[in-house]
Amino acid sequence: MSAHEEIGNLMNAYCYAIDSGDFLTFAQLFANAEWIAEGQKPSKESADNLIIYDDGTPKTKHVISNIRIDIDENETSAKAHSYVTVWQATADFPLQAIFVGDYFDSFEKVEGRWRFTRREIRNSLVGDMTAHLKVPSLTIPSA
């Protein structure tokens, strides 16, 4: 598998982990990485900020597009940029985009495997996040 494919798979794994409520995978993806939103590290309180429904998920779909991956000459580090749109629907909340922004990612290759070193969310356009986050500004400062 090429470096581009491996990195793309990591980017998709993040989306799938959140949308499926797989927070163990989310934690593994960021075990060696920073997660930043609008220039700030989320507070400890934000760890319990996500609203989880009876099916164990937040009832969201994170969709990334306009993906660009740049890998260094030695294939030991990489940077990526993508757009993200978060869709949500619940029994009481009609399907809508609740968030649009940019992911700026950094990766490193360690022992033959790529991993995140940083994900920064910027340029946020925030919609109605009342069905997604208990206190939106704890996770997305501009919310």
Q: CATH assignment of 3-139? A: 3.10.450.50
**DSSP conformational letter for 19:** H
Asked if residue 41 lies in contact with residue 34, where contact means CB atoms within 8 angstroms, the answer is: yes
- Cα–Cα separations (whole angstroms), residue 70 to 75, 78, 107: 10, 6, 10
Angle at 37 between CA 132 and CA 64, to 5 degrees: 70
Angle at 35 between CA 30 and CA 41, to 5 degrees: 135
Rounded Cα distance between 104 and 67, Å, is 10
Q: What is the pTM of this model?
A: 0.94
Q: What pLDDT, in 10s, does the model give residues 102-123? A: 999 999 999 999 999 999 999 8
Q: What pLDDT, in 10s, does the model give residues 17-31? A: 999 999 999 999 999
Asked if residue 107 lies in contact with residue 123, where contact means CB atoms within 8 angstroms, the answer is: no
Angle at 66 between CA 97 and CA 70, to 5 degrees: 135
